[in-house]
Chain A
Amino acid sequence: MRLLTHNMLSCNVKGVTNGFPLIIQADKVLEKPAELNHDFLRNMFYKVDWKALVDAAKSMGYSELPESAEASMLESLDFLNRFHHALMELHLEEGALICPETGRKFPVDKGIPNMLLHEDEV
């Protein structure tokens, strides 16, 4: 699971009002190189929740992202490279996503998060 996906997900258990961002329990992190696409990154910059991305990257062992970011930084190639690395190249292979409100664990197995709910949660 890349952090792009993490940035989109929240806990949707019935009754949870603040299920984002999910806390990452990183048991196994992989780095998989991905092709850098500038247009895609510029697009995504306006859509990702920056703070969630910074914290998620930290919990995966990458702390090279600035704490806050603004659109003018997109001019910098160095910034784009870091953003790309955090968003697209860090992989959570094994671990879990934990709901910040209830502590409900969504397992991540072979890189695929299981967001399906149990009977009493729908």
Chain B
Amino acid sequence: MWYLCVFYHRLLDYRKPEVESLAELFGAFDDEKKVQHLEWKLPEDHHPDSPFHFVNLPSEQVARDIANRSILVKGIYELWGEGPTFEELEAAIKDYPEERKLPFLAPHSTFKITVDSFGKVISFEEQTRRITSLAFIPFEGKVDLKNPDHKFWLMETDDYGTNNGLPPVVKRRYFFGREIGGADRKLLPTYQLKSRKYLGPTAMDAEMAFLMANQAMAKPGKLVYDPFVGTGSILVAAAHFGAITMGADIDIRVVRDGRGPDCNIWSNFKQYGLSSPVGLLRADNNLPPWRAGLKEMFDAIICDPPYGVRAGGRKSGGRKLLKGVVGPYTVSDHQRNDHIPSTAPYCLVECVHDLFDLAAKMLVMGGRLVFFYPVAREDEDTHNSSNSYPEHPCFELIATSEQILSSRYSRVLLTMVKMNPYTAEVEVAARLKHLDFRENHLKWLEDGNLHSAVFSPADASDGESKIGRELKPKYRGKYV
């Protein structure tokens, strides 16, 4: 059945993937063996960036489950009528089958009507007038504004001018529907970073962490791993949805010490009454300490790899060591306990390679790999095609969601599903690649330096493209 799905007007690229992941989580698709997508439609004259969409879902229960768990869905509604004018809306509502309407208008039920708009403000008097004009609907129940049995919404979009930063193609339209469910955004202020006791410079903001946990389909009984756990901000979101979490980080100060006895990664979970991670360890993603033969342990891997823009990645082995300037040196036994092994910069390509190898081996079949991948915006034309994202024979890419961070670069949340088992050939290829990275460390490091692309001063001859950039819309949509 088709439902009206209204989104919050933010993170536009993340909206449909979230609904699709939750649809799979709540059993909307019958065949789990292959990747499936939902059917979507746009209201007449609406732009893809519009908050109003229609989505085909198998049942009202699935629609309610999706809406209640989502972060970006304002509400999912059973649409009773829509139209470009109020008269046409009225005609449409009257035409809607009685048997679908009457159960919700019954004498002993309570109800509430909310008037909402997108792109304009409706005064209180006007709202009351709109509600009164719905009197043609035979409501027999009583109004209850606090705790109604049924919630109805009258929503409208205005025809935009050209200047308010929104695509000027949407025409005025009215929607009337019965609410099935809506996001609980109250959990965002609860989890917002400024309330967090222990923070690092790259802690994932709460809203994004929840979106990542939804893409990973975190739920009770599932084991979720973050190889770059840091202060645990991503795992906190997964734990909120009941998942069992595990994390690793190369920096012992982050995972073990924190900023004191009650200000560390454990306290970040305790603060919200969540179960602590079942395991935290200090390990290098470049040389993971898993036993031979261990595979398919995790249901999802979620992470924000260090890609060298805000925080550089590190891996084992000193810089000089990898350059070959010094030979491997031995630390004497009495110094071993306090010895802090040197680390070398870890380039993005290698980091992603290691992540793929880990995920291919350690994820269950059908398990999800969800991670951020940086994109320099200069090559806008090329990165829109999906083949510029990293690929792996075990994984199928099912969603890409771009978040624009500056005029120079954005990050894309990639959601991949493990579709093929980790075979001997894949393992051999990965080992060869690993050796190549070790031998040509410097070359890879120079090739994959995103930091300079983002922070180096723009080329003076670049003036023309700069003007082009300024003409881009200020809002963070994708299609305009």
Q: Provide the bound-state CA to CA distance between A113 and B250, in Å.
A: 11
Q: Mark B222-248 against chain A: 1 for CB-CB distance below 8 A, else 0.
A: 110000000000000000000010100
Q: Decide if B300 is an interface residue (CB 8 Å cutoff).
A: no
- Chain B residue numbers with a CB within 8 Å of A2 are 278-279
- Chain A residue numbers with a CB within 8 Å of B341 are 116-119
Q: Decide if A88 is an interface residue (CB 8 Å cutoff).
A: yes
Q: Mark A89-122 against chain B: 1 for CB-CB distance below 8 A, else 0.
A: 0000000000000000001011111111111101
The residue of chain A having its C-beta at the shortest distance from the C-beta of B364 within the complex is A43
Q: Decide if A4 is an interface residue (CB 8 Å cutoff).
A: yes
Select A117's contact among B252, B284, B292, B329, beta carbons within 8 Å. B284
Q: Decide if A9 is an interface residue (CB 8 Å cutoff).
A: yes
Closest CB in chain B relative to A12 CB, distance in Å:
5
Q: Decide if A71 is an interface residue (CB 8 Å cutoff).
A: no
Q: Decide if B368 is an interface residue (CB 8 Å cutoff).
A: no
The residue of chain A having its C-beta at the shortest distance from the C-beta of B223 within the complex is A40
The residue of chain A having its C-beta at the shortest distance from the C-beta of B220 within the complex is A37
A107 and B337 contacting across the interface, CB-CB below 8 Å: yes
A20 and B321 contacting across the interface, CB-CB below 8 Å: no
The residue of chain A having its C-beta at the shortest distance from the C-beta of B258 within the complex is A110
Q: Which of A8, A19, A34, A120 has the most CB of B within 10 A?
A: A8
B292 and A115 contacting across the interface, CB-CB below 8 Å: no
Closest CB in chain A relative to B385 CB, distance in Å:
37
Closest CB in chain A relative to B362 CB, distance in Å:
9
Instruction: Count how many chain B residues have C-beta atoms less than 8 Å from C-beta atoms of the other chain.
Output: 41
Given contacts A119-B321, A122-B316, contact A10 B281 (CB under 8 A): no
Q: Provide the bound-state CA to CA distance between A43 and B375, in Å.
A: 38
Q: Decide if A5 is an interface residue (CB 8 Å cutoff).
A: yes
- Chain A residue numbers with a CB within 8 Å of B321 are 119
Select B289's contact among A7, A9, A43, beta carbons within 8 Å. A9
Given contacts A9-B289, A34-B275, contact A40 B244 (CB under 8 A): yes
Residues of A within 8 A of B (CB): 1-2, 4-5, 7-12, 19-21, 34-35, 37, 39-40, 43, 47, 49, 88, 107, 109-120, 122
Q: A4-B278, A9-B289 given. 4 additional CB < 8 A pairs?
A: A19-B291, A114-B282, A115-B282, A115-B289
Would you list 24 pairs from A and B whose C-beta atoms are within 8 A, ordered by A residue? A1-B281, A2-B278, A5-B281, A8-B290, A9-B291, A10-B291, A20-B292, A34-B275, A37-B221, A37-B244, A47-B294, A47-B296, A47-B297, A107-B337, A111-B280, A112-B280, A115-B289, A116-B284, A118-B331, A118-B336, A119-B328, A119-B331, A119-B341, A122-B316
Residues of B within 8 A of A (CB): 220-223, 244, 246, 250, 252, 255-257, 275, 278-284, 287-292, 294, 296-297, 316-318, 321, 328-331, 336-337, 339, 341-342
